[in-house]
Structure 1
Amino acid sequence: MKTIIQYVNIKTSETMSLYVTKHLEKLSKKYEWVIKANVFFKHENDATEKGKICDIELSLPGPKIFATSNEKNYEMAVKETISDLEKQLEKRKAKIINH
């Protein structure tokens, strides 16, 4: 799986890149039909002390799937986003198996 990581209006972080890549590799081993991941890290001023946003879009056969989360830190945002993607991938896998 090809992974593209973009930092929107924030400083690039090699540590975060490695962190998200490691988690996406686990996902790609479980779901081998995932082709590409586009990851976006953003920061938004937020009164709730959150504002660390992680968006991930996965390309795979059929429609793309997308998840986003807004958390207190980027690590939590990555975990939450990947958890959402995994749920969507499970649903897609169930549809593929049934057909």
Structure 2
Amino acid sequence: MTVNYEYDGVTASQELEAYVKGKLDKLFNKYEFIVRADVFFKTENTSNRSSKMKTSIRLSAPGPRLFAETTSDSFHKSAAEVLTALERQLDKRKSLMQTH
């Protein structure tokens, strides 16, 4: 399983990558069918300070790709919200998968 990080208008942060990687590892352990994750960090050019930091995550798994994004006042908060949304999608995907 690989994780790719992309930064748009943001300097790379090892601490932020470690935070997201830790959260993603929990998902990978729970949902073994995940192949790859693409994580995008971007700053939005808005006057509203509470919606400036955008985090998007795209997961590759059997079937259509899973995607979620959210905007918050910090990358940690937006990453946590995105991972919660992806976990709901993964629960739904897992319930639809059949074992033979």
State how 1:1-99 maps to structure 2 within 5 Å. 1-49=1-49, 50-97=51-98
Q: Is 1-10 or 51-60 further displaced after alignment?
A: 1-10
TM-score (normalizing by structure 1): 0.94
Query: Size of the alignment, in residue pairs?
Result: 99
**Could you list the runs of 4 or more consecutive aligned residues of structure 1 that deviate by over 4 angstroms after TM superposition?**
none
Q: CA deviation at 1:51?
A: 1.1
Q: CA deviation at 1:48?
A: 2.3
TM-score (normalizing by structure 2): 0.93
Match of 2:12, SS state, is coil
Q: CA RMSD in A?
A: 1.4
Unaligned runs of 5+ in 2: none
Provide the rounded CA distance (Å) in 2 between the counterparts of 1:35 and 1:80. Answer: 21
Match of 2:93, SS state, is helix
Q: CA deviation at 1:98?
A: 8.1
Provide the rounded CA distance (Å) in 2 between the counterparts of 1:9 and 1:74. Answer: 13
